[in-house]
Amino acid sequence: MPGKHSTGQLGLPRYSFIAAAATLLVILVAWVAVRAAGPSQEQKAPVLVVPPSTPVVEAGAVLPATTPTSPSASASPSPSRTPSASPTPSPSRTSAKPSARVTTKPAPVRTTTPPPVAASFTARYQTGASWDRGLIAGVQITNTGRAAGTWRVTISYPSRAGVRVTNAWNAQVSGGGDTWTFTGGPLAPGASASFGFQATKQTRGTARPASCSIGGTPCTGG
- To the question of pTM greater than 0.75 for the whole model, the response is no
> Is residue 120 within 8 Å of residue 151, measured between CB atoms?
no
pLDDT in tens, 105-157: 777 777 777 666 677 999 999 999 999 999 999 999 999 999 999 999 999 99
pLDDT > 70? residue 220: yes
Residue 129's CB: how many other CB atoms inside 10 A? 10
207 in helix, strand or coil? Answer: coil
Chain centre to alpha carbon of residue 217: 59
Peptide bond into 108 cis (omega under 30): no
Contacts of 118 (CB under 8 A, 6+ apart): 145, 147, 149
**Amino acid at residue number 107:** A
Chain centre to alpha carbon of residue 103: 24
Grade residue 56 by pLDDT with cuts at 50, 70 and 90. very low
Q: Which domains does the chain have, with CATH numbers?
A: 121-221 (2.60.40.290)
pLDDT of residue 74: 46
pLDDT of residue 25: 86
pLDDT of residue 9: 52
pLDDT in tens, 106-118: 777 777 776 666 7
pLDDT > 80? residue 161: yes
pLDDT of residue 7: 47
> Is residue 218 within 8 Å of residue 210, measured between CB atoms?
no
pLDDT > 50? residue 205: yes
Alpha carbons 182 and 205: distance in angstroms, whole number: 24
> DSSP string of 80-127?
PPPPPPPPPPPPPPP-SPPPPP---PPPPPPPPPPPPPPP-EEEEEEE
